[in-house]
Amino acid sequence: MQMCIVAECYGNACIGEYLRGVLGGRVLHKPDYGRERILHNTARRFKQQCDRLLVLIDYEVSTDARTLVSKNFQLIQICEKVWVGPGLGKLAGVVAVVFDPTSRSSPGG
């Protein structure tokens, strides 16, 4: 088994390719992944296939989308627009890197 980097969108897949060069493993991305699919299906499925699982996803401006991400990960802000944290509940063992298009200082809020 190996490190898997699951990317929500093409931009995140590019970042994933950079991280793959540093961390090893493989980048998994398909145009239909999307945040909800990654959180509800893909991350759980790949958890069984990978030693380590990193998901690269985006917050959106929508409060519902932000709340979904915040409920599934214990995030800490590492710079103005990037949050990192471990998964909670069924996503325990997964680490998320979340890119925030807004300048808010709290996830989900």
Q: What is the pLDDT of residues 25-76, one digit of tens each?
A: 999 998 888 888 888 877 778 878 888 999 999 887 777 778 888 899 999 9
Whole-prediction pTM value?
0.85
Q: How many domains does the chain have?
A: 1
Distance CA 80, CA 104 (A): 8
Amino acid 104: pLDDT: 56
Residue 39 forms part of a structural domain: yes
Residue 90 forms part of a structural domain: yes
* Domain of 26, in residue numbers: 3-99
Amino acid 60: pLDDT: 77
Residue 58 forms part of a structural domain: yes
Residue 109 forms part of a structural domain: no
Q: Residue 89 above 80 pLDDT?
A: yes
